[in-house]
Structure 1
Amino acid sequence: MLTQRQLSVLSLIIQLYTDTGIPVGSKTLMNAGIKASSATIRNDMMTLEEHGLLQKTHSSSGRVPSMKGYRFYVDHLLKPVTVSPNERVMIRQSFGKEFHAINDIIEQSANILSELTSYTAFSLGPEVKERRLTGFRMVPLNDHQVIAIIVTDKGNVESQVFSIPQSISSEDMEKMIRLINDKLVGQPLVSVYHKLRTEIPMILHKYFQTPSGIMELFDHAFGKAFEDRVFVSGEMNLLDFDVLNNLNEFKSVYSVINNKDSLQSLIGTASHELNVRIGTELGNDLLHNMSLITATYTVTDHGKGTIALLGPANMSYSKIVGLVDAFRLELSTQLDDYYRSLDSF
């Protein structure tokens, strides 16, 4: 059982170390407000070290937090710093440009969050199951390629370029477009996804000589519409974290955050509005010296989205958690306003 003074010592060491990156000694703690002698503070630091919450960088140094220490601090001692009114205005003004699609706002949010923190930011829009297919077009690019344009309600537009197999005639393409407009347009995307795997294949076998080729075109055309696209910003900030030992490690981490499957696994589905995972909790040896803060935001009638920050384990948690919490609320407001503006037309 730690005493209140020992908890204060741990909290202050983490705050000082995350601000300066310099190991903290007893005299620094006395000057910072711990009301005890240097010898008493050293004894408290030894106790915290015995509990695995602090560690030495070398025998004569001050202490630095361990990963266990960061975890304990986040769980029991963290007091997020409240974002000032001026900072809130700055965040709001960063969204000040005109947006033409939901994904533009989601992408911009990742850019803003990365710039505000100098960390690597991720942004994932409202859940795909909330969307509805409202339009579909195919535009020929040449004799062998077309671009499929998928429009979902409230401003989501996805496009996909693909080649047409020689076995598919222009008449087949026209039938396919009619079929999509008759059977799929106006349906929720979750229904579209279901019909593409149940009802549509049966119809294709009835009306097309080469149903497998047409089904492949369907998969190409709608592939992106079902993706929960994650926007990433600030990848190069990884070089400034001082937790990657060489260029090969940087390349490996860079590859992780730019791979759709590994990124979805990393961010996951947040079970709380705001969550902090540290070191080995990230489930990837490459990230053992890093922390990931994820936060959900709610868009009225359109589901939940996620923002996340990847940074060093010695980030200033009180500042960053407070900022992320304020940012997710502002992003909710921005998206709510955008949807209301569409409804007004």
Structure 2
Amino acid sequence: MLTQRQDDILHLIIHNYTNLGKPVGSKTLMEEGIAASSATIRNEMKTLEEYGLLIKTHSSSGRTPSLNGYRYYVDHLLEPERLKESEVNVIRQSLGKDFHEINDIIEQSAKILSRLTSYTALSIGPDVKNRRLTGFKMIPLNNRQVIAIIVTDKGNVENQVFSIPKSIESEDLEKIVRIINDKLIGEPLLTVYQRLRTEIPMILHKYFQTTEGILDLFNSMLGEAFEEKIFVGGQMNLLNSDQIQDIDQFKAMYLFMENSEQLNGLLSAKDQPIQVRIGSELGNDLLSGMSLMQANYEIQGHGSGTIALLGSASMPYSKMFSLLDVFRQELAVTLDDYYRSIDSFG
């Protein structure tokens, strides 16, 4: 463990560097309250450098934090900064508009958080496993195309345009919709998924020679409904990061940001309300100089969701921690209100 003075020095260096982006020297530390001579402070900084917590950029410079220094700071020294009431109100107002479906809230939450922080924000909504099918429609667009719509009791809406197989007439579509609604409305999506592979094909074959196109469509849409969607806000903030040194790294980062499976993998840990992973802890060489601050929230009866910030390891942790904590709580309130409105409407 560090001495109290070493803790104070490391805390001040990280606070200054994450807010101003400049190496910190002994003179600044004296001015900001370290009660020791300049020589003593330099010796303490050298010790912290030997511990691997600080980096000296060149011979005459002050110090900057190392990734290990940030880790120590987050674990032992982080003091969340109190948000101004005006900042809290901005979050509430941003999340207070009318939303038409659950994914709209989750998508907007990522965009709002990114705008508030200038970092890349990632957002995943509450769990999908308990959703029930509440609506299935097919709306003709022209002679050979329809838009199919699936609605769940949690406010999720999936739609897809597809071409009608030549063997199926428009009146056949109406019959298919009636069968699906009669047999599957109100059932959990998992049950719907299973019955589409067993009972429903047998029923449809009584009326149609071939049902392959229709069943393929429905399977595809249910896959979308089951999928745990991740929404990204401020993608360019990460692509413009000073961590990206060349065009190859830019391309690799772009492909990473487009890969929902990899992004989902970043947010797999959900054992704490707010957690911070730094550098190699993210498990991806592309993110070796970055930090992920992840906040989880619970919606009673509807599962858990996640909102996160991804950016440089030099982010101002104390401010971002507080902002993310307030944001996750306000997002949970917004989602809870939305679910209540659905339940009361139903």
Identify whether the pair has TM-score above 0.5, normalized to the shorter chain.
Answer: yes
Tell me the CA shift for residue 94 of structure 1: 1.4
- Give 3-state SS (helix, strand or coil) of 1:143's partner: coil
Alpha-carbon RMSD across the aligned residues, in angstroms, is 2.2
Q: How does 1:132-281 map to 2 (within 5 A)?
A: 132-166=132-166, 173-197=173-197, 199-200=199-200, 209-210=209-210, 212-281=212-281
Tell me the CA shift for residue 184 of structure 1: 1.9
Structure 2 match to 1:70: 70
Structure 1 match to 2:340: 340
After superposition, the Cα gap between the structure-2 partners of 1:262 and 1:167, relative to the gap in structure 1 and judged at 3 Å, is farther
- Counterpart contact for 1:160–1:220, Cα < 8 Å: no
- Counterpart contact for 1:123–1:307, Cα < 8 Å: yes
The answer to which of 128-137 and 90-99 deviates more is: 90-99
What does the per-residue CA deviation read over 1:59-116, in whole Å, with 9 as the maximum and x for residues that have no partner? 2211111111111111111111122222111211112322222222222211110111
Q: How does 1:322-337 map to 2 (within 5 A)?
A: 322-337=322-337
Indicate yes or no: 2:67 matched with 1:52.
no
Structure 2 match to 1:126: 126
The answer to which of 123-132 and 303-312 deviates more is: 123-132
Structure 2 match to 1:98: 98
- Counterpart contact for 1:204–1:214, Cα < 8 Å: no
The answer to which of 294-303 and 210-219 deviates more is: 210-219
After superposition, the Cα gap between the structure-2 partners of 1:340 and 1:221, relative to the gap in structure 1 and judged at 3 Å, is closer
What does the per-residue CA deviation read over 1:4-26, in whole Å, with 9 as the maximum and x for residues that have no partner? 11111111111111011111111
**Counterparts of 2:171 and 2:104 in 1: how far apart (Å)?**
36
Letter in 1 for 2:37: S
- Give 3-state SS (helix, strand or coil) of 1:113's partner: helix
Structure 2 match to 1:282: 282
What does the per-residue CA deviation read over 1:210-244, in whole Å, with 9 as the maximum and x for residues that have no partner? 45444322222323211212221111112443111
**Counterparts of 1:107 and 1:174 in 2: how far apart (Å)?**
33
**Counterparts of 2:183 and 2:295 in 1: how far apart (Å)?**
37
Tell me the CA shift for residue 3 of structure 1: 0.9
**Runs of 5+ in structure 1 lacking a partner?**
none
Percent identical pairs in the alignment equals: 64
- Counterpart contact for 1:243–1:312, Cα < 8 Å: yes
- Counterpart contact for 2:239–2:253, Cα < 8 Å: no
- Give 3-state SS (helix, strand or coil) of 1:314's partner: coil
What does the per-residue CA deviation read over 1:124-150, in whole Å, with 9 as the maximum and x for residues that have no partner? 111111321100001222333221101
Structure 1 match to 2:318: 318
Tell me the CA shift for residue 191 of structure 1: 2.5
Aligned length: 345
What's the TM-score once normalised by structure 1's chain length?
0.92
Tell me the CA shift for residue 335 of structure 1: 1.4
**Counterparts of 1:270 and 1:128 in 2: how far apart (Å)?**
16
- Counterpart contact for 2:156–2:225, Cα < 8 Å: no
Structure 1 match to 2:82: 82
- Counterpart contact for 1:238–1:250, Cα < 8 Å: no
After superposition, the Cα gap between the structure-2 partners of 1:67 and 1:209, relative to the gap in structure 1 and judged at 3 Å, is same
- Counterpart contact for 1:275–1:294, Cα < 8 Å: yes
- Give 3-state SS (helix, strand or coil) of 2:134's partner: strand
Letter in 1 for 2:183: K
- Give 3-state SS (helix, strand or coil) of 1:223's partner: helix
**Runs of 5+ in structure 2 lacking a partner?**
none
Tell me the CA shift for residue 268 of structure 1: 2.2
**Counterparts of 1:198 and 1:161 in 2: how far apart (Å)?**
25
What's the TM-score once normalised by structure 2's chain length?
0.92
- Counterpart contact for 1:167–1:213, Cα < 8 Å: no
- Counterpart contact for 1:124–1:229, Cα < 8 Å: yes
Tell me the CA shift for residue 117 of structure 1: 0.2
Tell me the CA shift for residue 156 of structure 1: 2.0
**Counterparts of 2:48 and 2:204 in 1: how far apart (Å)?**
68
- Counterpart contact for 1:159–1:224, Cα < 8 Å: no
**Counterparts of 1:49 and 1:197 in 2: how far apart (Å)?**
63
- Counterpart contact for 2:277–2:293, Cα < 8 Å: yes
